[in-house]
Every structure is written in structure tokens, then in C-alpha cells.
């Protein structure tokens, strides 16, 4: 019993999977188009993120240059105090200088890390953009192929419809040709009758002419015998 229930459950899952696969296959172009759209949206977000990283890096580099300029000022101030034998103030400024150097080193490291992160993002964006262009081209080709297939299908459908219409037209033409042929036959028969009738009249005239000649010969010979 449980074995049959398990089989029925498997069959139900199989039918569900087949329906889903059929739906996915029939909507393949729409799905690919949406996936490309989603990828484009993610790409735009990645570009915005990269732009923010680059802006942060530039800001940090400006701060770093400012810190370095202040460091040079502190060094000059220490040298001035040392020239005045003011060891106490020189030591105070030197202590601040050490802190400044540590901050500069930390800032420099962060700038380098941002630069590395920026380079990775740029490489990923370039790769993603190239792949996206390839999929756009494939989508365009697939849509073009689908349009061509639809056009061929419509032509085939119209061809079938036209074939029936052409058959009807041919039947009408055949009937007209048969009617014209019958009319031509009738006209030819009438011409033959007229020709025959004309031939009959000619024969009668020939007979009359011959009889006249016979009568003339008889009359001529009769007169000579007297």
C-alpha cells in the first residue's frame, strides 16, 4: 500500500516537473530577457558602488596629502626649537609628529587597500559587461530567429489558405474554358453548316447551267436536222 502511495507521489512530482519545464521552455526568451535586465540592474548598482569607492579614495588621498604637509611643518618647527635649544617644546612637537606619522601610515595603507578593491571591482565590472553583451547578442539572435519562425509559420498558414482559394479559382477558370470551348465548337459547326448550304446552292446552279447547255445542244441539232 505504502509502495503504491510512494509511486503516486513520484508520478505527481514528475508531472509537476514536466509542467514546470514546459513552462520554462515556452517562456525561455522572456526569462532570458528578465535575467539580463536583472543583471543590468545589478551592474548599475555595482558601478555606483565603485564610484563611491573611488570618491572615498580620492578624499582619503587629499587628507593624506594634508597630513603630510602638516608633518613637514612639524619637522620644521622641531628644527627651529632645537636650534633655540628648546628641548622641551621640541620633544612635545616630536611626540605629536610620531602620532602624525602613525596616522599617515594607517591612511596610506587604507588608500592602498581601496586602490586594490577598486582594481578588483573594475576587473569584475569589465568581465560582467563583456558577458552581458554576449548574452544580449544571443537574446537578439534568438528573438530574430523566433520572428523568422513565426513569419514562416504565418506564410505556411496563408499558403494553405491560398491553396484552397487557388483550387477554387482554377475550377472557375476550367469551367470558363469549357464554356468557351463549347461556344467555339458551336460556332465552328454553324460555319460548317453554312458552308454545306452554300455548296448545295452551287450544285443546283451548276445543274441548271448544264441543263441549259443540254437544251441548247438539242435545239441546235434539231434545227439542223430540219
Measured between alpha carbons, how far is 139 from 126 in angstroms, rounded to an integer? 20
Radius of gyration of the chain (CA): 56
Global pTM reads 0.51
Residue 58 lies in a domain: yes
Residue 80 lies in a domain: yes
Residue 226 lies in a domain: no
CATH number at 82 reads 1.10.287
pLDDT in tens, 6-55: 656 666 566 666 565 565 555 777 777 888 888 888 888 988 988 898 89
Residue 176 lies in a domain: no
Measured between alpha carbons, how far is 141 from 136 in angstroms, rounded to an integer? 9
Please answer whether residues 139 and 29 qualify as being in contact, where contact means their C-beta atoms are separated by less than 8 angstroms.
Answer: yes
Q: Is 32 helix (H, G, I), strand (E, B) or coil?
A: helix
Residue 9 lies in a domain: yes
Please answer whether residues 50 and 122 qualify as being in contact, where contact means their C-beta atoms are separated by less than 8 angstroms.
Answer: yes
Residue 219 lies in a domain: no
Positions of the chain with pLDDT lower than 70, given as ranges: 1-26, 149-166, 183, 189, 192-208, 212, 214-219, 221-222, 224-226
* pLDDT score for 101: 87
Residue 105 lies in a domain: yes
Count of domains for the chain: 1
Residue 72 lies in a domain: yes
Measured between alpha carbons, how far is 69 from 159 in angstroms, rounded to an integer? 84
* Domain range enclosing 83: 1-147
Residue 154, CA atoms < 13 Å, CB-side half-sphere: 6
Amino acid at each position: 500500500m505504502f509502495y503504491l502511495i510512494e509511486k503516486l507521489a513520484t508520478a505527481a512530482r514528475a508531472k509537476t516537473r514536466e509542467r514546470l519545464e514546459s513552462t520554462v521552455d515556452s517562456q525561455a526568451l522572456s526569462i532570458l530577457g528578465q535575467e539580463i535586465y536583472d543583471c543590468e540592474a545589478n551592474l548599475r548598482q555595482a558601478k555606483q558602488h565603485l564610484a563611491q569607492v573611488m570618491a572615498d579614495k580620492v578624499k582619503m588621498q587629499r587628507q593624506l596629502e594634508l597630513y603630510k604637509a602638516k608633518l613637514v611643518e612639524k619637522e620644521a618647527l622641531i628644527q627651529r626649537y632645537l636650534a633655540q635649544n628648546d628641548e622641551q617644546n621640541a620633544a612635545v612637537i616630536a611626540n605629536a609628529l610620531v602620532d602624525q606619522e602613525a596616522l599617515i601610515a594607517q591612511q596610506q595603507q587604507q588608500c592602498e587597500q581601496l586602490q586594490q578593491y577598486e582594481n578588483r571591482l573594475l576587473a569584475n565590472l569589465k568581465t560582467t559587461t563583456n558577458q552581458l553583451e554576449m548574452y544580449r547578442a544571443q537574446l537578439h539572435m534568438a528573438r530574430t530567429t523566433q520572428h523568422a519562425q513565426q513569419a514562416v509559420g504565418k506564410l505556411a498558414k496563408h499558403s494553405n489558405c491560398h491553396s484552397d482559394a487557388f483550387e477554387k479559382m482554377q475550377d472557375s477558370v476550367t469551367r470558363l474554358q469549357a464554356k468557351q470551348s463549347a461556344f467555339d465548337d458551336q460556332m465552328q459547326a454553324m460555319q460548317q453548316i453554312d458552308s454545306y448550304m452554300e455548296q448545295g446552292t452551287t450544285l443546283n446552279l451548276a445543274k441548271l447551267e448544264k441543263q441549259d447547255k443540254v437544251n441548247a445542244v438539242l435545239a441546235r441539232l434539231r434545227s439542223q436536222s430540219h
